[in-house]
Amino acid sequence: MSQHSSTSESGRHFLQQHQTLTRRYFLQLGAAGATAFSCSPLSAVDPEREKSLQQAIAEIESWLTSPADFRDVSRGKPVPHSLSEEIRKEVGLTRDSWKLEVISDPEHPARLRSPLTKEEGTALDFSGLMKLAETRSVRFPKVMTCLNIGCPLGMGIWEGVPLRDVVWQSKPVKDLRRVFYYGFHNHDEKQMFRSSLPVGRILEDPFDLPPVILCYKLNGQWLSPERGGPVRMVVPEAYGFKSIKWLTTVVLSNLATANDTYEKGNNDLDSPLKTFAATLSVPETIRPETPFAVTEYAQAGISGLQKVQVQILPRDEQQLSEEGDASEAMWRDAEILPPPAEWGGGLPGNVIPAPTLGFTASGQPKTWPLLLSKAHWAILLPGLPAGQYILRSRTIDKNGAAQPMPRPFQKSGHAAIEQIDFRVGS
């Protein structure tokens, strides 16, 4: 960098000063940083400020989302979950009327010895699914996130039977490369919302990933019509569009490529969940030279979550930050909060039922944050001079890639670094 205007010269000065202030502040917190808020060294210094951080943490949403509080992404006229119970019973959307067909694709046939069809009376019904569940059921935590919406729709413990167990019931013998599937769509082809997977993902789980399931429970309760009940697909590492609701039909195919409905929206169909931190908020009023708390969530995608970092820049210096290097030094580590005392989400007895993948028999997480899940974070930021600022947050994944990398493209899932403007002083 050779020349600077006088504004960026003064900006650089401020930045340096701010950096020094910030560093001094964090040194005050001690070598361990604010690792345990309940016994943060800061509390000895200023009990007031400790309280504001504690309060911000206490206001964080629960780790699990109540099924009814999920954000809903449902197509259909009418959306299937708005149908009356009577009609849902008629069309197979209640537990006592549900049937799943597993058939060969007429256009790219796979060879099946025993397709499961309504016509032959061999379709899987709910009691058949429950029979399988007696020995095969699995549970795992997963965040449901739409590829096209910035924030997660909800966090759940999903329970179901591995799809492969039902695929094997149809006795496939050859010419099987892809499996596609869809749900009830008001008997109107144009309303069909379809998704697909390579058969290998269904038959075998990559290391540390749960199986693709036919899901019938969320947070210990029967899957509601809103969440796709009685049975939906849940694909652990995928964005929401792979987890088809009101599931009725699984098609085994020799098709070699993806044929998801989401393709029409220019979406990257093979993109697994990303790691990111987002949707920032700051206190409504921030007094000059007074530390303030910021809390939010992050999503641990397939590459895991190592760190959440926060950056504050004076608004005039936005330009400066876009130059890169100077702002890189301004990222401060936030605290990833430990597992909560209350899981929330309507989980019966506030107990993670055993067995649940990722948890011990007594319901404690084996690692934290958990893969493919939400985590919450908090940071007490140093007091700042009055003025206009920009706040940003980002994640560093377990491979060391800083958000928005390694895959910044919007149509492979949200990863853009969010920022908000805020004011210190009146």
Ligand X SMILES: Nc1nc2c(c(=O)[nH]1)N[C@H]1C(S)=C(S)[C@@H](COP(=O)(O)O)O[C@H]1N2
Confirm or reject binding of residue 243 to ligand X (CB under 6 A). yes
Give the residue with the Cβ less far from ligand X, 74 or 412: 74
Residue nearest to Mo ion (CB): 146
Residue nearest to ligand X (CB): 240
DSSP states of 310-341: EEEEEGGGHHHHHTSHHHHTT-EEPEEPPPPS
Decide which of Mo ion, ligand X, none touches 152; Cβ closer than 5 to 8 Å per partner kind. none
Name which position in 144, 234, 255, 384 contacts ligand X (CB under 6 A): 144
Q: Which of 233, 218, 225 is nearest to 162 (CA)?
A: 233
The C-alpha atoms of residue 401 and residue 394 are separated, in whole angstroms, by 10
Q: Which of 318, 314, 423, 333 is nearest to 380 (CA)?
A: 333
Task: Using the structure block, give the residue that is written with the tokens 């098709």.
Answer: 255
> Closest separation between CB of residue 148 and Mo ion, Å?
6
CA-based angle 113:116:121, to the nearest 5?
115
Confirm or reject binding of residue 74 to ligand X (CB under 6 A). yes
Confirm or reject binding of residue 146 to Mo ion (CB under 5 A). yes
Decide which of ligand X, Mo ion, none touches 164; Cβ closer than 5 to 8 Å per partner kind. none
The C-alpha atoms of residue 126 and residue 316 are separated, in whole angstroms, by 61
Task: Using the structure block, give the residue that is written with the tokens 């899987």.
Answer: 124
- Long-range contacts formed by 4-7: CB under 8 A, 24+ apart: 7/316
Binding segment (CB under 6 A) for ligand X, from list 71-79, 87-95, 286-294, 393-401: 71-79
The C-alpha atoms of residue 44 and residue 9 are separated, in whole angstroms, by 38
Name which position in 8, 53, 65, 70 contacts ligand X (CB under 6 A): 70
Confirm or reject binding of residue 297 to ligand X (CB under 6 A). no
> Which residues, in sequence order, are CB contacts of 415 under 8 Å at separation 6+?
274, 275, 276, 403, 404, 407, 408
Confirm or reject binding of residue 241 to Mo ion (CB under 5 A). yes
Decide which of Mo ion, ligand X, none touches 231; Cβ closer than 5 to 8 Å per partner kind. none
Confirm or reject binding of residue 193 to ligand X (CB under 6 A). yes
SS3 8: helix
Confirm or reject binding of residue 411 to ligand X (CB under 6 A). no
Show the binding pattern over residues 164-183: x = contacts ligand X (CB under 6 A), - = does not: -------------------x
Show the binding pattern over residues 64-103: x = contacts Mo ion (CB under 5 A), - = does not: ---------x------------------------------
What is the contact surface with ligand X in residues (CB under 6 A)? 70-75, 144, 146, 153-154, 183, 193, 227-228, 240-241, 243-246
